């Protein structure tokens, strides 16, 4: 139960590997403890009340938003599939990993038009086909339309990405946000 509390999206297969038991044993234990399967846990989290997206359409967010409190934080989950990995190695392409936290950083800002101004990220380990990514972006500072967001992504309990993304709220109808001089 503690392992599922720490990572509600952990699969039965991952639990079996972690505890060195069979998948059938995990399923029996889950049933005895009245813990739903991973798909149901994800559905329940997705049904939580979210603030309304302003800067993006829901389909533009990479991953499934789990929590969104405009101006404060956002979380999402994302399962890596074939179109996200290199065919030969099964390792996720970095731009997809970046896209999840970047879309969250854009979504969390309470403005109609938001663009990425700068990103400083560190990738800790490769992410593989089939893994679930759990990302969180927190707004840690705001000044003059500029938001500094702390981003972190976990896969299978491992931190795979962390860093800072700066976003800029842009006036509707502005031709180029950089005309205002983005200084981060």
Is the whole model's pTM more than 0.75, yes or no?
Answer: no
C-beta of residue 58 within 8 angstroms of C-beta of residue 65:
yes
Question: Given this model, what pLDDT does residue 123 score?
Answer: 96
Return all residues near 147 (Cβ < 8 A) that are at least 6 apart.
Answer: 105, 108, 109, 139, 141, 166, 167, 168, 169
Instruction: Of 49, 154, 149, give the one whose Cα is nearest residue 107.
Output: 149
Residue 12 to residue 39: CA distance in whole angstroms: 11
pLDDT attached to residue 148: 97
- Spatial distance between the Cα atoms of 15 and 34, rounded to a whole number of angstroms: 16
CA dihedral 71, 160, 5, 165 (to 10 degrees): 0
Say how far apart CA 95 and CA 119 lie, in whole Å. Answer: 12
Distance between CA atoms of 152 and 34, rounded to whole angstroms? Answer: 30
pLDDT of residue 65: 87
Identify the structural domains of the chain with CATH numbers, from first to last: 2-43 (1.10.10.10), 49-172 (3.10.129.10)
pLDDT in the model for residue 67? 86
pLDDT in single tens digits along all 184 residues of the chain: 778 877 777 889 989 999 999 999 999 988 888 888 887 777 766 655 455 666 666 677 788 888 888 899 999 999 999 999 999 999 999 999 999 999 999 999 988 889 999 999 999 999 999 999 999 999 999 998 899 999 999 998 899 999 999 999 987 655 454 555 555 5
Tokens of 37: 């399967």
Q: How many helices (H) and strands (E) does the chain have?
A: 5, 6
């Amino acid at each position: 139960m503690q392992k599922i509390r720490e990572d509600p999206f952990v699969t039965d297969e991952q639990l079996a590997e972690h505890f060195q038991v069979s998948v059938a044993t995990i399923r029996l234990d889950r049933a005895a403890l009245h813990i739903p399967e991973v798909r149901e846990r994800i559905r329940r989290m997705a049904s939580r009340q979210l603030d309304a997206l302003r800067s993006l359409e829901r389909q533009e967010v990479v991953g499934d938003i789990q929590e969104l409190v405009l101006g404060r934080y956002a979380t999402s989950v994302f399962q890596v599939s074939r179109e996200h990995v290199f065919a030969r190695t099964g390792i996720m392409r970095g731009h997809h990993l970046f896209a999840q936290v970047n879309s969250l950083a854009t979504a969390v800002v309470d403005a109609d038009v938001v663009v990425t101004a700068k990103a400083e990220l560190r990738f800790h380990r490769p992410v593989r086909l089939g893994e679930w990514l759990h990302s969180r972006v927190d707004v840690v500072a705001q000044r003059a339309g500029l938001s500094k967001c702390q981003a972190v992504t976990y896969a299978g309990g491992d931190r795979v990405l962390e860093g800072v993304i700066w976003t800029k709220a842009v006036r509707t109808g502005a031709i180029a946000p950089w005309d205002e001089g983005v200084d981060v």
